[in-house]
Copies of this chain bind each other. A is one copy, B any other.
Amino acid sequence: MADTTTKKTIILFSGDFDKVMAALIIANGAAAMGDDVTLFFTFWGLNALRRPEKIKAEKKPLQGMFGRMMPRGIKKLGMSKMNFAGMGPVMMNKVIKSEGGMTLQQLLDSAIEQGVKLVACTLTMDLLGFKKDELLDGVEYAGVAAYLAEADEANVNLFI
């Protein structure tokens, strides 16, 4: 099937538990079928790439506030619906485990293992005040031109 291998790109704009989950399920599924997959994290989606620990960094006041108010990493994301002040994701993870499914963290680990390329959007990093050492190891950094170059080579391009 090597010559039918095709590329997929997903812009992950959302930082909601459920949308990040949808993106990672598609990315893992495509990678398992032998496709090249690139996930572009932008705006609130960048929260999924944050390290869980506090990292000191010089930021403008609004960026500092954004940094403190937004979730640090994939284990802290809230749901777009049925969030119940943060209990939604906790309960959802319980259901996932009881159904034999993968948690967000496991889906992210699996994506990395399968070679899914994780790219952080540098333009929105600048806006939101994220520094590279606040994000996970292995993340690549690029802008819209790089996204478009990859999307031109892909046969499925989603915005989530």
Task: Give chain A's interface residues, CB within 8 Å of chain B.
Answer: 6, 11, 13, 15, 18-19, 22, 25-26, 28-30, 32-33, 35, 42-44, 60, 62-63, 66, 69-70, 80-82, 91-92, 94-96, 98-99, 101, 123, 126-127, 129, 143-145, 147-148, 151-152, 155-160
Contacts and interface: CB of A to CB of B under 8 A. Distances in A.
18 contacts: A11-B158, A13-B18, A13-B19, A18-B44, A22-B43, A25-B144, A29-B144, A44-B81, A62-B91, A62-B95, A95-B127, A95-B129, A96-B127, A99-B126, A99-B127, A152-B156, A159-B159, A159-B160
The 3 closest A-B pairs by CB, nearest first: A29-B144, A158-B159, A62-B91
A123 B25 contact: yes
Q: Label chain A's interface by main secondary structure.
A: helix
